[in-house]
């Protein structure tokens, strides 16, 4: 994983990104009892995945390498819009 962040040219942001993902995961779980928290967490993850797609385009990754980020972007947009 460390090497991937070097490839993305985001080595300095590795720990903050991981922390944000952990907090968003907790927010998604909290969304089961407080829907607004789940929506907020999924919106944050959707923004993170949008940035991931942009980074992958900039570093010229293949479509196959970019697809997981696109799928997680779509999933989080759905969760944010549909609510919990």
CA distances from 61 to 5, 8, 56 (A): 13, 10, 5
Average pLDDT over residues 52-71: 96
pTM (global) more than 0.75? yes
CB 56 within 8 A of CB 48: no
**pLDDT higher than 90, residue 83:** no
Strand, coil or helix: 10:
coil
- Look up residue 38 and give its two tokens: 């789940």
């Amino acid at each position: 994983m460390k090497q991937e962040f070097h490839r993305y040219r985001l080595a300095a942001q590795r720990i903050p990104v991981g922390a944000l993902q952990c907090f968003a995961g907790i927010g998604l779980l909290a969304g089961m009892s407080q829907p607004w928290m789940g929506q907020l967490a999924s919106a944050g993850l959707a923004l993170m995945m949008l940035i991931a797609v942009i980074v992958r385009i900039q570093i010229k990754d293949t479509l196959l390498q970019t697809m997981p980020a696109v799928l997680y972007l779509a999933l989080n947009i759905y969760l944010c819009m549909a609510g919990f």
